[in-house]
């Protein structure tokens, strides 16, 4: 595993242990899938937590906690129709009690998923396809969420 991936995985509260003798190959594949998911999503999860909470330390703690809580549920998550969307929901819920004032205020105007979409796209600056991928949405689904959020904010401020 590349050093960068090992560093990201080391930040997860409950990293998957490497398979030992007696563990089935299916568990090994599941562990590898979880490790890959963590490696791929850690950067965005950490930055999102940081932006939502207003603190880089707290943002990393939130991301670490969400990915750690995902580990024991991983087999069930993989069987769902949208594993990335479930994982994103967990991260978003972990951020709830830690939102900075401006995010809490925005969430009173529009829904939580809409706020997440706007933070990813405009505050963090992810291109729409990457933001959609982070939330577990397809491109048109993300675009609909984003445009609906902007429309609601515009209507509210008019």
Name the phi and psi angles at 54, rounded to 5: 80, 20
Q: What is the pLDDT at residue 26?
A: 52
Distances (CA, A) of 142 to 71, 117, 147: 26, 7, 9
Cα distance between residue 122 and residue 1, in whole Å: 33
The model's pLDDT over 40-86, given as tens digits with 9 standing for 90+, comes to 999 999 999 999 999 999 999 999 999 999 999 999 999 999 999 99
* Domains assigned to the chain: 1-96 (no CATH), 100-158 (1.10.10.10)
Cα distance between residue 127 and residue 121, in whole Å: 6
CB-side neighbour CA atoms (13 Å) of 85 = 11
pTM of the model as a whole: 0.81
CA–CA–CA angle 14, 18, 19 (5° rounding): 125
User: Which comes out higher in pLDDT, residue 22 or 102?
Assistant: 102
């Amino acid at each position: 595993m590349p050093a960068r991936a090992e560093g990201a995985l080391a930040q997860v509260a409950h990293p998957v242990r490497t398979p030992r003798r007696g563990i089935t190959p299916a568990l090994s594949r599941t562990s590898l899938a979880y490790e890959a998911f963590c490696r791929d999503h850690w950067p965005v999860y950490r930055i999102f937590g940081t932006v939502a909470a207003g603190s880089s330390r707290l943002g990393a703690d939130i991301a670490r906690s969400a990915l750690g809580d995902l580990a024991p549920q991983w087999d069930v998550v993989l069987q769902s129709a949208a594993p990335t969307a479930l994982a994103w929901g967990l991260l978003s819920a972990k951020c709830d009690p830690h939102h900075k004032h401006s995010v809490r205020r925005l969430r009173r105007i529009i829904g939580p998923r809409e706020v997440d979409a706007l933070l990813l796209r405009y505050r963090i600056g992810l291109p729409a396809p990457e933001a959609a991928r982070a939330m577990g949405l397809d491109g048109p689904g993300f675009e609909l969420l984003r445009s609906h959020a902007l429309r609601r904010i515009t209507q509210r401020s008019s």
